[in-house]
Structure 1
Amino acid sequence: MSRPHRTYILAYEGCQLLDVTGPAAVFGAANEAAGRPAYDLRIVSPDGGLVRSNCGVALDSRKIGGQPDTLLVAGGSRGLKAAMTRDDLRRWLRKTAPAARRFGSVCTGAFVLAAAGLLDGRRVATHWASCERLAQGFPALEVDAESLYVVDGKVWTSAGVTTGIDMALALVEADLGPALANLIARHFVLYARRPGYQSQFSPLLQAQTATEAPFAELIEWMQAHLDRRLDVPELAARAGLSERSFYRKFTEATGKTPAHFVESLRLDAARTLLAGDLPLKAIAGKIGLSSPARFGQAFERRFGMAPSLFRQMHGQQPR
């Protein structure tokens, strides 16, 4: 990047504040970490001036115009429909986005791009609660309901709210390298940098957010002991329930049978391990699957590709 990378974040009345400020903070931190203005960051809106976000905090914006290198559209609830149907905004997006080096959205900002016809034929992400609505409203695109963010050519789209930070860190990594992106993540006191293929909801979080979550402590133990025999007799004994009662109550609480839930935990852990350099046999052992063959069959059934191909796409080559 020989010159500052002109980066626009599109805001509008009722936009989600963190969809704007999260990525903006990442790009601002990149300038500080690089010791130079790597990003020329601008918050823009259809009319310019103060734009009131969904929580009432107003953002100072410039009126849309000019040509960005990177364009991101924020999501929102109130005001989203108005942004989708505003003719001058759609015309500007149709002119500007294709000419940008890359463009995309955070959360439900995908609806604004889709309404402008810019996502047809693309695989995209959006907030988990809006995936079905986006797919039904715009059948020419493919919604990835699993990923935190998706990169399809020059189109970058992220899921809900905080995933915009994950995607912005990936953008910085693409521009300035992983060392600087990792430095920013540490500065933000992030627990970990999350890759785009990570699911929006982990099995543990799904269990914790259920109406009743009596098994959260057990599931935390399961995650720490994936190499053990996690069958119904073992889990029922740890839960202090009969096997029949445990099976019924666990399925009601999590929406999955114990066997299906355990497999989800194991395969989600496998995706993280595949980003490293452990041999497939070692990964199979760490997640409690008895052999690379069994691991490969389960992984391909869940994700539609072999572990080795997933590693080629997202991680390091196997030993």
Structure 2
Amino acid sequence: MTRVVFLLVPGVHLLDLAGPAQVFSSAVDFGADYELSYVGDSVSVPSHQGVPLGASTELPSLEVDDLLVVPGWRSSTLVGTGALSARALAWVRAHHDCGGMVASVCAGADALGRAGLLDGRRCTTHHELQDELERRYPAARVVRDVLYVEDGRVVTSAGIASGIDLALHLVAVRNGPSVAAAVARTMVVYARRNGDDQQASVLLRHRSHVNETVHRVQDVIESRLTDRLSLAELASLTGCSERTVTRLFGRATGMTPLKYQQALRVERAEHLIGQGATVEVAARTVGFEDARMLRRLRSR
């Protein structure tokens, strides 16, 4: 039996906790042997979303194979937030010193830093907190814009949904990729992402503008990802001239419609390759004629 113990911090994000907890509890349905428990400095821990969470104030004695997870809390800053007692932080440190693995989600990385576990290690956190984490722990190497980082039995993730990616990775390592894939399917997770995948997808990075014409062009490209779309066709569908579409699209996204489609295709192909597809199969699945173009775009 492997215990997965979540250390709950006041203001904890529900998804930071619930995502990994769901992964490990679902893994039990596929033959994994996990027991989940929840501890904190008080018996009732308020979540940021307003749901009070029950916790044990008794910090258990952990075995080497047990996993300790610190979910993140909602805050625009790290300093002065995430209250944890010296006793709890010493317990986190002691588990790692005895050979155990410690993980964090989002702002939870700050708790690991206060426990002295980030010095000399690679780590990450939510992109809004990376600068501050770097300032607070100058001896750590903060890896930017990735989903999770594992270094010396310390695993840190970007936050919110990336906690699911972190937990699936740990299940894959401990129980095999087939169990992790089965858990991802039962959780209806789109794809099990690699740790070095970017925190923001192509869609998120280039959809933050407010130009409705460009949004309509993007809708067409995304719904017809594998089609050969001409600029003339996109212009016709939006009721604009080709020149106007090019100008508006470039101003809103910093790229042409063709480059946007290529970026989406490459990102989708990376997911397929990560799930075991060959480069050739992935290239053809996303709309490239063969793997040569995909290889060129990936190399950039």
1:83 match: 82
2:28 match: 31
Q: Which runs of 5+ in 2 are unaligned?
A: none
1:232, distance to aligned residue in structure 2 (A): 5.1
Residue-by-residue CA offset, 1:105-164 (whole Å, 9 max, x unaligned): 112211221233312333333223223332343333333333333333422222221221
1:54 match: 48
Given residue 121 of structure 1, which amino acid in structure 2 is its aligned partner? G
The 2-side partners of 1:296 and 1:197 are apart by 18
The residue correspondences of 1:128-277 to structure 2 (distance < 5 A) are: 128-212=127-211, 214-223=213-222, 225=224, 235-258=234-257, 260-275=259-274
Given candidates 63, 66, 70, the residue that maps to 2:67 is 70
1:8 and 1:278, CA in 2 relative to 1: closer, same or farther beyond 3 A?
Answer: closer
The 1-side partners of 2:234 and 2:138 are apart by 42
Q: 1:172–1:181: 8 Å Cα contact kept in structure 2?
A: yes
Q: CA RMSD in A?
A: 3.2
Q: 1:10–1:73: 8 Å Cα contact kept in structure 2?
A: yes
1:192, distance to aligned residue in structure 2 (A): 3.7
1:282, distance to aligned residue in structure 2 (A): 5.4
1:113 match: 112
Corresponding pairs, count: 295
Q: Which runs of 5+ in 1 are unaligned?
A: 302-319
1:269 and 1:182, CA in 2 relative to 1: closer, same or farther beyond 3 A?
Answer: closer
Question: Percent identity, aligned pairs only?
Answer: 35
Q: 2:213–2:238: 8 Å Cα contact kept in structure 1?
A: no
1:315 match: none
Given residue 68 of structure 2, which amino acid in structure 1 is its aligned partner? L
The 2-side partners of 1:243 and 1:140 are apart by 52
1:135 and 1:213, CA in 2 relative to 1: closer, same or farther beyond 3 A?
Answer: farther
- Secondary structure in 2 aligned to 1:6? strand
- Secondary structure in 1 aligned to 2:82? helix
The 2-side partners of 1:257 and 1:112 are apart by 43
Q: 2:73–2:82: 8 Å Cα contact kept in structure 1?
A: no
1:225 and 1:84, CA in 2 relative to 1: closer, same or farther beyond 3 A?
Answer: same
Given residue 17 of structure 1, which amino acid in structure 2 is its aligned partner? L
The 2-side partners of 1:213 and 1:117 are apart by 48
Normalising by structure 2, we get a TM-score of 0.81
1:295 and 1:24, CA in 2 relative to 1: closer, same or farther beyond 3 A?
Answer: closer
The 2-side partners of 1:91 and 1:160 are apart by 23
- Secondary structure in 2 aligned to 1:83? coil
- Secondary structure in 1 aligned to 2:183? helix
Given residue 5 of structure 2, which amino acid in structure 1 is its aligned partner? Y
1:286, distance to aligned residue in structure 2 (A): 5.4
1:295 and 1:190, CA in 2 relative to 1: closer, same or farther beyond 3 A?
Answer: closer
- Secondary structure in 1 aligned to 2:125? coil
The residue correspondences of 1:263-302 to structure 2 (distance < 5 A) are: 263-275=262-274, 279-281=278-280, 283-284=282-283, 295-301=294-300
- Secondary structure in 2 aligned to 1:113? helix
When structure 1 is superposed on structure 2, of 93-102 and 234-243 the one drifting more is 234-243
1:75, distance to aligned residue in structure 2 (A): 0.4
Q: 1:70–1:100: 8 Å Cα contact kept in structure 2?
A: no
1:277 and 1:25, CA in 2 relative to 1: closer, same or farther beyond 3 A?
Answer: closer
Given residue 38 of structure 2, which amino acid in structure 1 is its aligned partner? I
1:55, distance to aligned residue in structure 2 (A): 1.5
1:123 to 2:118 alignment: no
1:250 and 1:281, CA in 2 relative to 1: closer, same or farther beyond 3 A?
Answer: same
Given residue 154 of structure 2, which amino acid in structure 1 is its aligned partner? V
1:22 and 1:139, CA in 2 relative to 1: closer, same or farther beyond 3 A?
Answer: same
Normalising by structure 1, we get a TM-score of 0.76
When structure 1 is superposed on structure 2, of 4-13 and 146-155 the one drifting more is 146-155
1:225, distance to aligned residue in structure 2 (A): 4.8
Residue-by-residue CA offset, 1:179-236 (whole Å, 9 max, x unaligned): 3333333333334433434332222233444344543443243245555556755644
